[in-house]
Structure 1
């Protein structure tokens, strides 16, 4: 997966497990993205083992506010904190015999799926989109843009629209790759392609340019990595730098994601459930949260990038059917780790 702010060749993730006194185990995964959040696989392991674990061992599963207060003493480390939070929710669900989706709100049990297309030539990206639609029934695509010249990506999006037809939903994500003027020029050139959203086309710290750009667009502008906390969401929206939002459970967990979602509801923002190039466990977490709330089911969630991985850790692999991914039945997240695969892929000596 290649995009404006980086590229990913391997899923160098961290499996986080929380064990209760009753012997139940909650699980989640942390996907480090050093080019976005500064975290690495080794760094996530270190901060959990040396700082976070001593702070949370001994708390009950319902003391999540107390846990977050302690985690927030440490700056940054969003995916490490998020995975720990989600593992606690999973353990809580297993303890009380309810799914995480039921605990969070229980609105539905499935979500429509959006597939993310990374940088490539127009023909290759069209081929991938057509294959994914044929095999999995997916009809919403997020297209990575942000290259120079902008015509490279304009040609891609135009080719996708012409090949996929008017019924497919397309939106673009620049990962902060363009300037404000480049973004405006690209969006003008794509104005006839019926795009649903534009996401993080230029850097958020380009304050004047960002506001100028958002004011020109006739589609909602999604804040992603620029709005990862309620405070950042408030700043971006009230400052005129965004009017829609991407929520990623991989960086805000379930507890933080609910805070962001409720703020988005209060501000009247459209919401998309985003993807951190998650594995299957991360995708399970995203659909568990997204299906639990009405607003997060209104748009297709970015739930399919586990398809890019050659293997995974779950005993029962995920399956997208008819363009939808269902919440796993059962308590907690409803999934288990294949211990044999874990032994094969783990990088420590245990």
Structure 2
């Protein structure tokens, strides 16, 4: 079970349509496939989706830091040395997505070696999660149409609505149209990606007070410390820390400082080791958790559902697991399937997925 090599393979797959939100827009998945090889011939995989407008990482940067720093740091360790891996990766500041992919590929390799799923290794609470679909900026009619299609084709009943535009009435009109178009039995929540000020956020939430929203996520900047505390005190729904709470220490700061009342866990930036730390912290503090989406492809979504299904706390809410549906293609030999509003953990050891080598050869950008 000794780690003998780590690969970082950049690839690009176009989206069928761009996903737009307050902090940027995505036209293609410019990701990095990470492979961890062991001396037993086992290969673990994970995906690294760089988000330069959020964490400062780029595709080239992720590949470089893995090849130049992280691979030499973990080669020679075993798959069971996960705390040692975490410690060595933590010596480097930042680079959360690159670290997470290395960590998750090691967990996948461990599961394959032990013929056990990652979900079972982590906790084994369930084998599936309810799905929430993310709706990016568009006209009210287009967003209602997309939500109806997702509901009709996949049975999805929970929707995360991107907001954060100015004037705020652009977004409040969208959310109102969604509520009127989908009815009262659909769950809606909003994510501002830090696009509004605290006062704009308070005004928008007041305008939407009759729409029965379940959550509000990162409506205003994380460094507006007093504004966020004031905003949270105005709200009647949980305020979710996302980009502001990547590490357990940041989660502690946001929750105990009164700047948030819930937390988004994204395995693509925490890995399974860091995500488990954050989960246990939230569980101990009695803080609600939602499994977030880094605009993941199918491999990233497989990681999210593997983690989310492993614990009671992370299974209670629908996980953001469907944005791979907007990609024009993917790398897996067997595509993930959403049915009845649920995504099942792929059966099999590790993450339960396999990479299509022909597709990888076609989409990789380093050859």
TM-score between both structures, scaled by the size of structure 2: 0.95
Matches within 5 A, 1:140-289: 140-289=158-307
Partners of 1:11 and 1:241 in 2: CA distance: 32
Instruction: Tell whether 2:69 aligns with 1:67.
Output: no
Q: Which of 154, 159, 182 does residue 136 from structure 1 map onto?
A: 154
Partners of 1:38 and 1:322 in 2: CA distance: 37
Cα offsets for 1:226-257 (capped at 9, x unmatched): 00111100100111000001000000000000
SS across alignment from 2:151? helix
Instruction: Tell whether 2:356 aligns with 1:338.
Output: yes
Query: CA shift at 1:169, angstroms?
Result: 0.1
Cα offsets for 1:133-186 (capped at 9, x unmatched): 000000000000000000000000000000000000000000000000000000
Partners of 1:159 and 1:79 in 2: CA distance: 35
SS across alignment from 1:71? helix
Partners of 1:18 and 1:230 in 2: CA distance: 26
User: Where in structure 1 do 4 or more consecutive aligned residues deviate above 3 Å?
Assistant: none
User: Which structure 1 residue ranges, 5 or more long, are not aligned?
Assistant: none
Partners of 2:207 and 2:304 in 1: CA distance: 33
Partners of 1:40 and 1:256 in 2: CA distance: 21
- Could you say which residue in structure 2 is the equivalent of 1:88? 106
- Could you say which residue in structure 1 is the equivalent of 2:129? 111
Query: CA shift at 1:23, angstroms?
Result: 0.4
Partners of 1:7 and 1:201 in 2: CA distance: 17
- Could you say which residue in structure 2 is the equivalent of 1:12? 30
RMSD: 0.4
TM-score between both structures, scaled by the size of structure 1: 0.99
Partners of 2:125 and 2:91 in 1: CA distance: 33
Partners of 1:341 and 1:234 in 2: CA distance: 42
Cα offsets for 1:267-324 (capped at 9, x unmatched): 1111000000000000000000000000001000000000010100000001100000
Partners of 1:254 and 1:73 in 2: CA distance: 18
- Could you say which residue in structure 1 is the equivalent of 2:339? 321
- Could you say which residue in structure 2 is the equivalent of 1:24? 42
Query: CA shift at 1:204, angstroms?
Result: 1.0
How many residue pairs were aligned? Answer: 349
Q: Which of 41, 59, 84 does residue 41 from structure 1 map onto?
A: 59
User: Which structure 2 residue ranges, 5 or more long, are not aligned?
Assistant: 1-18
Matches within 5 A, 1:116-131: 116-131=134-149
SS across alignment from 1:10? strand
Query: CA shift at 1:213, angstroms?
Result: 0.2
